[in-house]
Structure 1
């Protein structure tokens, strides 16, 4: 098994050093707190707050999306590991403005358990109300009748964007939860892996693919996908992905969507734009209008090569929050 070369210091300290660097890159827009927590450096206002989080190794997710119009804070675990309940409680206290805190994170067992414990502790020990939206957008992870078994992948971004804007516009945690849950319910993604990412502490890849193989639907940590096959032309691969994606919600003629072509780590911009070309053609053929397109590394898996395609079906409410101004280290509009 090959070992991947990375220019790091002590791999055991890579999360702390990464967050230090991200915080400094914000030039005062954020503050780094103990426990691998980044919060927006601004006065608290009278609003429900948004806390996001999960394992590190997916940068710029999660710490890169803290700022006006996005999350109030992010709590990060070690690489591909959930943040601890104690860190989640500390982050909850740091972002709470007196109207409760919404948690948004990907649907993984470790995150589910630790955020649930954190929510219970925040309620019992700090008297802070919380609500949760688990993102379950990966259509390859489980059939639609088993939504709770689906993983959260690049759809995290659209849900965070909508929830962040809504948190600054609504008065109650219940209303914020309703809007974020609506965004999540209308979001679907599928990925394609060409080669693996690796664990910084070991340098070992998270999975193995043959030189001429790809896997459609592989998860961000190497979880099994829907199909392993030989490398094929881009249009053929995108067509297979779109067949699965469009049928799942299902998306239909007349729908309006937001589109994200997400770089999983080391694919080239050229590959992403070639994919976008075919995705847009498929959507046009299906009578689906694209309101907004995002292309780039929004949630990665170290140096994994490949990309994911995300669609969020829009109505006027979701569109308004998606288009609302936002500013953070990794995203501004």
Structure 2
């Protein structure tokens, strides 16, 4: 394993200190319990958005803390859920009087720990569960996983909270975005967790993991490596079956890299995906391409499609100023 690392035990804390210093105009870091919060004061009465999850998916979630998105993010150890005390402390620190909305990816540890934190929180609160991974059936055990669609949810709901939506309205909007969003990924290589020191799984030179999870979980199926066009067609067909976008429907197309895929390849995947949906007269109204929900150094990507309405379009375009997303400011 070749990594820029001093010690395994200090890896995350040193990274977070560097992140906070690099973006000192946007975020503050609480080292214990560990969370990142927005520096710019929010309006009194604003709904506070708190999210989090295991590290290794950067810039999710810490990179989305700031104006127009999250008020706080709780990073756990690599691929490990943050603890309830982190979530509770973060929520208390960013409580502006409008209540707390926890945005939770659908993984057992995240769901359980956010529920524990919510039970201890003495403030109005609610939770929004993200489950956009359509590579898996809805009726499996814990349901579908939350993956790259989380970025879309956090941006749109974050803009709504910034605009003064109340807690119930933010939750209802978030649920609409979740149900209008479908994602699916493919891995060309495994990722390497520093504490493990080796790839989490093996893929042959001519193999790919279709529907892989962002923690290296097994996907829909292991397949022979296909061309970029074949991969896009496969994923797009699954998303089409789920969302059934109609001609003229405005959508957001998000191509997300897993950390080890260069932008030249991600933009190629965007071109092919754009060709697929525009060829069916779907309106690619907005786009996002880059590494936003990663899996350490995994080579691969995911496609996310979100059906948009006028409200979602307006909120997507609203100003945002975070480490990872910035426009309109």
Task: Report what 2:275 is aligned to.
Answer: 281
Q: Is the 8 A contact 2:108 2:142 kept in 1?
A: no
For residues 112-191 of structure 1, what are the structure 2 equivalents within 5 Å? 112-122=111-121, 127-141=122-136, 143-144=137-138, 149-191=143-185
2:54 paired residue number: 55
Find the partner of 1:196 among 182, 190, 199. Answer: 190
- Of residues 12, 15, 19, the one that matches 2:16 is 19
Contact kept in structure 2, 1:32 and 1:39, CA below 8 Å: yes
RMSD: 1.3
Deviation at 1:254, TM superposition (A): 2.4
C-alpha distance in 1, partners of 2:249/2:263?
27
Shift of residue 105, structure 1, vs aligned partner: 2.2
Which residue number in structure 2 is paired with residue 70 of structure 1?
69
Name the counterpart of 1:210.
Answer: 204
Cα separation, 1, equivalents of 2:135 and 2:259: 19
Partners of 2:196 and 2:80 in 1: how far apart?
Answer: 15
Whether 1:35 and 2:29 are equivalent positions in the alignment is no
Shift of 1:109: 0.2
Q: Deviation at 1:145?
A: 5.1
The aligned residue for residue 320 of structure 2 is 326
Instruction: Give the whole-Å Cα distance in 2 for the aligned partners of 1:251 and 1:103.
Output: 29
CA distance in 2, matches of 1:254, 1:171: 29
How far apart, CA to CA, are the structure 2 residues paired with 1:26 and 1:98?
26
- TM-score normalised per structure 2: 0.96
2:4 aligns with one of 3, 7, 20: 7
- Aligned 8 A contact 1:136 1:147 in 2: no
User: Deviation at 1:171?
Assistant: 4.2
1:166-315 to 2 correspondences below 5 Å: 166-315=160-309
Output the CA distance in 1 between the equivalents of 2:270 and 2:79: 28
SS of residue in 2 equivalent to 1:271? helix
* Closer, same or farther: CA 251–103 of 1 in aligned 2, 3 Å: same
Secondary structure of 1:11 counterpart: coil
Q: Deviations over 1:268-315 (max 9, x none)?
A: 112111111110111012221011111100010000000000011100
- 1:156-175, Cα deviation, whole Å (9 max, x unpaired): 10000001101111342111
Instruction: Give distance in 1, aligned partners of 2:318 and 2:80.
Output: 32
> By how many angstroms is 1:148 displaced?
5.5
Residues 136 and 148 in structure 1, CA contact (< 8 A), matched pair in contact too: no
**Residue correspondences, number:** 325
Listed as ranges, the gaps of 5+ residues in structure 2 are none
